[in-house]
Each structure stands twice: as C-alpha cells, then as structure tokens.
Structure 1
C-alpha cells in the first residue's frame, strides 16, 4: 500500500521499494537493501543514488563498508512543497508571457493560410472541404466539360447528394459544350454561359472564408486559400459576373 502511495508522490516502483526497505532496516549496506527490496544490486545502487539526489536517503562509511539510510518522511513533504513553489513560479511566469504569445499567435492567424493538393485524390479532398462550409452556401465558376473528364457520373452524384444532405445551396456560373448536365441538383441555381466566348479551365469555389481553385486540364492540382478578405473579394467578383452573365445566359 505504501509503495503505491509513494508512486503517486513521484517515486518509481523500484525507488519506493528501496526507500521503504531502507527505512525498515535502518543504516545498512546495499546488499541488505537489495535483498529486502527484491531489486538486483546494480539497480539498487542506481535507485539509491536517485533518492540521495532528492534528499530522501544518505550514506556514511563505517570501517571499510558504506552504509545507506532513509531520511525522514518529512523530507518528502519538504520536497513536495519545493516542487509546489517551483510550479507556482512557473505559472506566474507563464501568465506574464501569455499576452505576448497571444500577440504572436494573432499575427500568424492574420496571414492567409494556403493549402496545396495534387492529382484526382487531391481534388476529391478539396471537394470534401467544400462540405465543411459553415454558412451553407457556395458560389462557383467552372467548366462542366472538364469536371466530367475528371469525375465520373457516380462521383459527381455522390458529391451532390452529400451537399444536399447538409443543406448547402450553390450558385454556379458554368460552361458546357456537350449538352445538359446528367446529375440533377435541386439545391443549385445555375447560369450557363457560352464556352466559345468564356473558355474555363479551372474550377473556382467560394465557401465560408475560403477560396478553392482547381486546375481541371492537364496536370490536376488545387489550392485552398483561407482568408476572409480574399473570399469576400472573390464573392464580389462573382456577384459582378453573375449579373453580367445574364446577358449571355444559355438554355440548359
């Protein structure tokens, strides 16, 4: 029982055994402590040195032998009080520097965060990020032709279904040379514009405080820029484009 309690106070299992054995035996050579503690002699030496360094044991020589003895349990109390004082000092120091650290953190948070993705799996990861939007709306400009080349009908349907389940609405300006969209999307308001006049090779998406741009032709890659100012600016450009697109709107 005492061993467990001493372990709770910071002693190791073997330190507790050696300390209690020494306390029971009184001043005695290491081999006696080792035998009573059930710890091999070499390890007992290591434990004794550790306990001596913490003021919990001491040693003296008598004749040609070296004797070891446990110090009073009050030394444990003094040790804990010392540790308590050190912790309080550390807490005071931390409380003093936290405001300075928060200032540094705020400066970092002001910087736009940019993430880069490659390949089809990377573009899937970008799409999954759209679904984490907290304001339940997305604005996007894209080429349906290139989207169809990258993602299958099933993959596009799965994405639309997930977005619908989350109640995320989307407004899209898009081009599509080959006909009508195969995937029905009840949560989308779309404006189709002529590809001959407005060729698009990237997918641009605004969601929450993020702007995602993915390259759909040739090498597949995407970037997500996390910046409220950048996202708001891109939304303003989208609104301008949305109004202008009415002039060129094609039948779906």
Structure 2
C-alpha cells in the first residue's frame, strides 16, 4: 500500500507514518516512529504534514500528545485535490506555452556540443572533419603531440585532406623548428611556426564552417566539437589576429 499512497501525493515517510497510525489507532510520536521505522524527529514533521492534509488529528492525554489517523475516506479528497491541481497546472501551461516558445526562438542559436574520449574518439573527430564541405580550415596545433599520438598522421590524414580539396592554414609549435613549411604546396597548406618555449601549446584546434574542434593531446586524450556560427566566427577572428603576429617567426 506504500506505493499506492505515494501515487496520490503522500511522501514515503508520510505514507509510513499514516499506515503505522492506522494499525496503532492512537499513539505518541515515539511509538509511531518505532512502528513506522522513521526517526522520531522526522516523525513529528510527517505528522504535522498529515494533519494539514486532514489525515491525522492530535489530542492531549495527561502531559503527552497523542495522534490518531482519520478515516481513510479522506484519501479520496486528497486524490481529488491532486487531480484538480494537475488540471490547473495543465491549463496554466497551455496558456504560457506559446509565450515560452517565442522566447525560445528569439533567444537565437544554441551551440551543439559533443564530447569524444580517447585516441579513437580523436580519430572520429578527424573523420568527421574530412567529411566537411568546407574548403578551408584554420588551426592551431602542437606538431610534437600530434605525431606522438598519430605517428602516421603525415602519411594518412594529410593526403586524405588534400583529396577532399580542403586548404589548411596552420599555426604550430614543434621542438624541431620549422618542420612543416617545405611540404606546404603539395599538401594545400600554409603553415606558420611559433616557438614552443614562448608559446606552449598542447592542444589541436580546428575551425571550419560553423564548427570548432578542440583536442587535448596530453595525458588522457579528449576532444570536443562545438557547432556555433558565433563561436566559430570569433575563433576565426582570433586566428587571423594570431596569423598576422606569426610573421616575425617565419
């Protein structure tokens, strides 16, 4: 019966206390707590709630307070009250729903964010990038970390990007210096080096179309793709600013 009482609006502890009182007839809070297997302090709270609902009454006997369960017929009134409140909530929701919908639409674009874990997760991000219809991608990268995680990256990933006709503008760090420049033309790439000791960078960031893909390459590899025109445009602006600043290192 506990579950049935909960369905009509009683909390679990209220239901326990009420059932205990039905069996006991009338008793002190201490005895009710024992019967209901509820802490004594909690029992007082539940008894007060049940009295407000008309399911319990109290009376004094000597110097002690006793509590008595009211006729279970009162539960019908509670069920009817719950139904009435549900109808009122539904009616109120129907009234405000059109306005809420307008607010939702007027608030503009909502970024879609997806997370990827592990090396295989980063491969999935790369595969998704290579399916893009965009013909230019802007990026920041740590060449050392990319080659550590994906040793075959130059032989596999770059040729696939070239076959897709995706041009890359890349700002990168490397402990070996300007290692990418000599292959720029054949790989549809403009790469600019920045010194890792001055600009430590351990992530890979790609911006293409309305998407920003960020991969953390140290410790446990993890990545995120954010789909948002506003965020992508802002990152493109930051990239262009950084691109101009790399001139003195190249």
Give the TM bin, normalised by the shorter chain: 0.5 to 0.7
Return the offset for 1:135. Answer: 6.4
In 1, Cα distance between equivalents of 2:56 and 2:8: 16
Aligned twin of 2:167: 172
Equivalent position SS for 1:137: coil
Aligned twin of 1:53: 52
The answer to whether the 8 A contact 2:139-2:207 is kept is no
Equivalent position SS for 1:60: strand
| TM alignment of 1:15-164, pairs within 5 A | 15-34=14-33, 36-39=35-38, 41-61=40-60, 65-110=64-109, 131-132=127-128, 136-140=132-136, 148=143, 151-152=146-147, 155=150, 157-158=152-153
The answer to whether the 8 A contact 1:138-1:169 is kept is no
Unaligned runs of 5+ in 2: 114-120, 171-178, 195-204, 215-224, 237-250
The answer to whether the 8 A contact 1:59-1:66 is kept is yes
Aligned twin of 2:176: none
Unaligned runs of 5+ in 1: 116-124, 182-188, 214-222, 235-252
Q: Quickly say closer, same or farther: Cα 1:37–1:212, change in 2 above 3 A.
A: closer
Aligned twin of 1:247: none
Paired residues, number? 195
The answer to whether the 8 A contact 2:125-2:213 is kept is no
Return the offset for 1:82. Answer: 1.0
- Could you list the per-position Cα deviations for residues 183-236 of structure 1 after superposition, in whole angstroms to 9, with x for gaps in the alignment? xxxxxx9656xx7xxx868997434x44789xxxxxxxxx977229x98xx9xx
The answer to whether the 8 A contact 1:55-1:75 is kept is yes
Alignment root-mean-square deviation, CA: 5.0
Larger Rg: 1
Equivalent position SS for 1:59: strand
Return the offset for 1:46. Answer: 3.1
In 2, Cα distance between equivalents of 1:19 and 1:43: 13
In 1, Cα distance between equivalents of 2:66 and 2:139: 86
Equivalent position SS for 1:78: helix
TM-score calculated relative to the size of structure 2: 0.53
* Mapped pair 1:206 → 2:208: yes
Return the offset for 1:62. Answer: 5.1
- Could you list the per-position Cα deviations for residues 39-80 of structure 1 after superposition, in whole angstroms to 9, with x for gaps in the alignment? 565443333222112221012345655432111212222112
In 2, Cα distance between equivalents of 1:48 and 1:31: 12
In 1, Cα distance between equivalents of 2:32 and 2:164: 75
The answer to whether the 8 A contact 1:139-1:205 is kept is no
| TM alignment of 1:212-223, pairs within 5 A | none
TM-score calculated relative to the size of structure 1: 0.52
In 2, Cα distance between equivalents of 1:114 and 1:13: 39
